[in-house]
Amino acid sequence: MTTDLTRRIQQSYQEVADACGIENARHQSFASANDAILLEKVLKNVESEGGRVLDLGCCGYPWVTNFLRNEGYEVVGTDVYKPTWYDKDLVGKLGVPLVAYDGHDLPFKAGSFDLVLMFGVLEHVGVWKTSEEKYRECNPEVTKHRRDVLDEVQRVLSDEGVLYITKFPNTHGRDKYLSKMINGDIGHLNSERARPEYLRDLIGESFEIRSFFADGLLPHRIPFDLPFSSVPNTYSKVDKLLSNAPLLKEFAQNYCVIATPR
Ligand SMILES: C[S@@+](CC[C@H](N)C(=O)[O-])C[C@H]1O[C@@H](n2cnc3c(N)ncnc32)[C@H](O)[C@@H]1O
C-alpha cells in the first residue's frame, strides 16, 4: 500500500513541478523518502470521505495540498509566503485551494479541521527568511510566536482533531557530522534546531502528545537514482528503525510529533 502511496506522492510532486515549469520534481521538493510512510501513518487518523485537512506552511511548492486534494480530502493550504503560487498561478492551473495568511491569525473558523499538517514549518516560524538567524538557539520571542501559531492550530482543530508536525531539526542532527561528507550540504537553512525537550514543552502546552519519534539519520535524499516506486519504502523503514534506536537517535535529523488538542 505504501508503495502505491509513494507513487501517488511522486505524481503530486510532478503535477506541481509541471505547473511551475520545473524539470525535476524530485529535486525541487522538500519531501524526503520518508514522507510516504509518514503520510500513511497520519492519514490513518482521518477518513478521506469528509476529512478536512489544513496544510499549514504549504510553501510555494504545495505538493501535500495537491496530493491530499487528489486523494479526495477536503484540503486547504496556507502560508505566509506566496510568490510562487501567485506568480505561477498554481490555484488556476492545479485548482488547489491556497489561502494567504499573516503568520498569526488563521483565517478559519474554530473547529474547521480534522487534521492540521505542519511539514517542515514550525522550525521556520519567527525566523523565516532571516538566514543570519539560522543556528541561533530558540529564543523567547520566537518561542512565543510558535506558541501563538500552535494556539491558533488548536482553535481551528475539531475536538477529535489531530496535529501532525514533521521535520523539526535536531540540535545534534547527523547533518552536522555526516551530511557534508555524504550530501555535500549542511542541511536545513533558515530554520532553528532544538532538543526534543524544547519541542515537547512547546507542543505540550496546548496539545496532548500521542507520538514523538525521530527520522532522518540516513541522508535526506537517496544519493543515486533508484526506481522511486519500490526502494524508498525499505529505505525509510530502515531509517526510522535506526533513527529511533538508543544512542543513534541523538543524531537523527528531525523530530516528528502527532498530537491532539487538550
Ligand atoms: C521548508 S518550507 C515548508 C515546506 C512545505 N510544507 C513542504 O513540505 O514542502 C517552510 C515554510 O514555513 C512557512 N512559514 C514560516 N513562518 C510561518 C508561519 N508563521 N505560519 C505559517 N507558515 C510559516 C514558510 O513561509 C515556508 O513556506
Q: Rounded to the nearest whole angstrom, what is the distance from the C-alpha of residue 103 to the centroid of ligand 1? A: 10
Is residue 259 within 8 Å of residue 208, measured between CB atoms?
Answer: yes
pLDDT at residue number 233: 64
Residue 97 C-alpha cell reads as 485551494
pTM for the whole structure: 0.87
Region of poorest pLDDT, from 31-45, 83-97, 99-113: 31-45
Residues 6+ away with beta carbon under 8 Å from 156: 54, 106, 108, 109, 110, 111, 112, 113, 116
From 13, 61, 86, 121, give the residue whose CB has the most ligand 1 atoms within 8 Å, as the site to mutate.
Answer: 121
**Could you tell me where the DSSP H helices lie in 157-215?**
179-182, 196-204
Confidence of residue 13 (pLDDT cuts 50, 70, 90): confident
Most confident of 41-50, 51-60, 224-233: 51-60
pLDDT at residue number 171: 78
Domains of the chain: 2-261 (3.40.50.150)
Q: Which residues line the pocket of ligand 1, CB cutoff 6 A?
A: 30, 56-59, 61, 64, 79-81, 103, 119-121, 124-125, 128, 149
Write b or e for each residue in 173-209: b if 16 or more Cβ atoms lie within 10 A of its Cβ, otherwise e: bbbbebbeeeeeeebbeebbbbebebbbebbbebbee
Beta-strand (E) ranges in 94-180?
A: 98-100, 113-119, 157-169
Q: Rounded to the nearest whole angstrom, what is the distance from the C-alpha of residue 129 to the centroid of ligand 1? A: 10
d(CA 188, CA 192): 8
Predicted confidence (pLDDT) per residue in 124-167, tens digit: 888 765 544 444 556 788 889 999 999 999 999 999 999 999 88
Q: Which of 145, 140, 192, 200 is nearest to 170 (CA)?
A: 192
From 86, 124, 190, give the residue whose CB has the most ligand 1 atoms within 8 Å, as the site to mutate.
Answer: 124
Flag whether pLDDT at 105 surpasses 70: yes
Confidence of residue 209 (pLDDT cuts 50, 70, 90): very high
Q: If you average pLDDT over residues 67-72, what whole number do you get? A: 90
Flag whether pLDDT at 117 surpasses 50: yes
Is residue 257 within 8 Å of residue 203, measured between CB atoms?
Answer: yes
Flag whether pLDDT at 223 surpasses 90: no
